[in-house]
Structure 1
Amino acid sequence: MSVKLRGSDLTRALLVRGDKQVWCAVDDDGDEQAMMDHCGNDFTACIVSFKEGCFYCSGGSTWLFAVPIKVVAVTQHEMQL
């Protein structure tokens, strides 16, 4: 039986695997909170390491939870322009 990693556990596994940057939704209260839109003030960060119980982003800030996300550019067609 294989374990399905999710949320912050998946981010830690990606870093252990050797990934150098993982785009994540971040929060200090939990994975679910990281994925919520806080009145338009959502937080994403490029996570570069995990040590002493914290995720570190490329800007040097620390976070307790980091959920991997996909960041992709949208096209003109998708925006219906």
Structure 2
Amino acid sequence: MGNELRGSDLVRAMLERGDKQVWCSIDDKSDEQAMTAHDGNDFTAYIVSFKNGSFYCTGGMPWLCAVPIKIKQITQQEVKFVNTVRTDDSLIT
């Protein structure tokens, strides 16, 4: 487990393997910052290449750090909506 690739190292390996677009949380300071500094909407991007020490997204912007992420739908159980029924635009519990 100690040799497991993570964060920016994993993204570089995925691109070297031939992955075309890797959905990532991005930042210019650190992998940790990439996963915690979500002040705006500009914290994720598809990373398509790594050149000259930077990751490049589909928009052509360079980033120093990129952490691969998965986005999945949240379920009703995960947000603890129990016995809730949706009718039109209102919730009935």
TM-score, normalising length: structure 1: 0.83
Q: Which residue of 2 aligns with 1:44?
A: 44
> Which structure's CA Rg is the greater one?
2
Structure 1 residues 1-81: aligned runs within 5 Å: 3-38=3-38, 40-41=39-40, 43-74=43-74, 77=76, 80=81
Identity of aligned residues (%): 62
Which structure has more relative contact order (CA 8 Å, sep 6+)? It is 1
Q: Secondary structure at the match of 2:36?
A: coil
**Structure 1 residue runs without a partner (length 5+):** none
| 4+ aligned runs moved over 4 Å, structure 1 | 78-81
Q: How many residues align?
A: 79
Please provide the CA RMSD for this pair. Answer: 2.1
TM-score, normalising length: structure 2: 0.73
**Structure 2 residue runs without a partner (length 5+):** 85-93
Q: Give distance in 2, aligned partners of 1:2 and 1:27.
A: 24
